[in-house]
Amino acid sequence: MEDFLRAAERLFAEKGYRQTTMEDIARLAEYGTGTIYRYFESKEALYGELLERKLAAYLDHLRERFDAQASPRDRLRTLVRAKMDFFRQNREFLRIFAQEFVPEATSMAAALTPEARELRERCLTMTREAIEEGMRSGEFRSADPVLVVTAISGLTNEILLRYLRAPEGEHIGEIEAFMTDFMERGLLAGERP
């Protein structure tokens, strides 16, 4: 079962949901085609299960590193670093994630399960709350928090998509520093240069 999820993750990320066949997945997992159906009701269910598991793992990953006591700015830094770490270990998933993470979007791949929606929402909420608190405390300047979250999501997703392809470990520190810096300049209260 794990075998199928692993194979599916790799192939969905590489070729997309529709272009990946159940036979592809079975072959990569080194099983017969029919075997998948002992564990998953359908291709869509397999996709759903994959998304749920990954999103749950991502949410756990974020929560583990999250420090509710920290200042909003530090929380945001932590979230960026955690996102980066997670996707360095889950490079394949990033592509799927980026597609499914536009909250209002009907994915073009397959319908998200309610559980997956819920998880996606919670991931976004962590960032949004940090931002809202920062705005209340005056540390961040005022803006529509949803707009800010959207900007940050898009920015980080795209950079990760672009740079996580690079050979392991290259510039990673710089990239993270750039993202954090860019975001903070955009967010922190104070005079514009």
Partner DNA sequence: GATGAATGAGGTTTCATTCAT
Partner DNA sequence: AATGAATGAAACCTCATTCAT
Contact status: 137 vs DNA (CB under 7 A): no
Q: Which is nearer to a copy of itself, 60 or 181 (CB)?
A: 181
- Specify the residue, 60 or 74, whose C-beta has the smaller distance to a copy of itself: 74
Residues 6+ apart with CB under 8 A from 172: 84, 88
185 is a site residue for a copy of itself (CB under 8 A): yes
Question: How far is the CA of 70 from the CAs of 13, 37, 73, 92, 178, in angstroms?
Answer: 35, 46, 8, 31, 21
32 touching a copy of itself, by CB under 8 A: no
Closest of 77, 85, 73, 107 to residue 190, by C-alpha: 73
In the complex with DNA, the residue whose CB is nearer, 35 or 99, is 35
190 binds, among DNA, a copy of itself, none (CB under 5 to 8 A by kind): a copy of itself
Nearer to DNA, 36 or 187 (CB): 36
Beta carbon of residue 64, minimum distance to a copy of itself (angstroms, whole number): 26
User: Which residues does 82 contact at the CB level (< 8 Å), separation at least 6?
Assistant: 61, 62, 65, 66
Any idea how long the chain is? Answer: 193
* Contact string 31-50 vs DNA (x = CB under 7 A): xxxxx-xx--xxxx------
Extended strands (E) in 34-134: none
Q: For residue 82, give both structure tokens.
A: 């955690």
Of 143, 154, 162, the closest CA to residue 91 belongs to 162
108 lies in the site for a copy of itself, by CB under 8 A: yes
Strands (E), 54-166: none
The residue (of 19 and 60) whose beta carbon lies closer to a copy of itself is 19
Binding residues for a copy of itself, rule: CB under 8 A, are: 14-16, 18-19, 95, 99, 102-106, 108-109, 143-144, 146-148, 150-151, 153-159, 161-163, 165, 174-175, 178-179, 181-186, 188-193
